[in-house]
Amino acid sequence: MHFGEHLTIDGYEGNKDKLNDKELVFSCVNDLPGVLGMKKLSTPEIYFAPGNDLKDPGGWSGFVVIEESHISIHTFPARGFVSADVYTCQNGLDTEKILAYFKSKFDLKDIEFNFIKRGLRYPESNIY
């Protein structure tokens, strides 16, 4: 038994206009919990993050707290890149559905992902 599952997604060569669309980023973090059968505990938050002189050209960051944990997205339109996390205490996360969701929303040409089982030693009962 494990506590939960964490899917990290890095998407490449996405559509610049879609990656720079505040409403699209909002709809992703707003709608994905329902697509996955999860429950939002908050209204999604979306912020514009200005670029810096290092590796970050700026973009949109959004997140939503869900009963099962959280979903976050960070876009980098000038680089055609998006980074996203879906973390849940549920087991059996439909990774293929989530990858297809982000690929279609931002017209991604390539995706890297990591799937992590969290809390491999999660206690089976309360210890206090």
Over its length of 128 residues, how does the chain's per-residue pLDDT go in tens digits? Answer: 799 999 999 999 999 999 999 999 999 999 999 999 999 999 999 999 998 877 888 999 999 999 999 999 999 999 999 999 999 999 999 999 999 999 999 999 999 999 999 999 999 999 99
State yes or no: is 74 an active-site residue: yes
pLDDT of residue 56: 81
Annotated catalytic residue within 2, 6, 74, 125: 74
Annotated catalytic residue within 6, 27, 70, 89: 89
Structure tokens belonging to residue 8: 């990290």
CA 127 to chain centre: 32
pLDDT of residue 45: 97
* Domain chopping of the chain, boundaries: 4-118
**CA dist list (Å): 20 to 52, 85, 93, 105, 106:** 17, 18, 28, 12, 10
State yes or no: is 28 an active-site residue: no
pLDDT of residue 67: 95
The CATH number given to 4-118 is 3.60.90.10
Annotated catalytic residue within 27, 28, 69, 72: 69
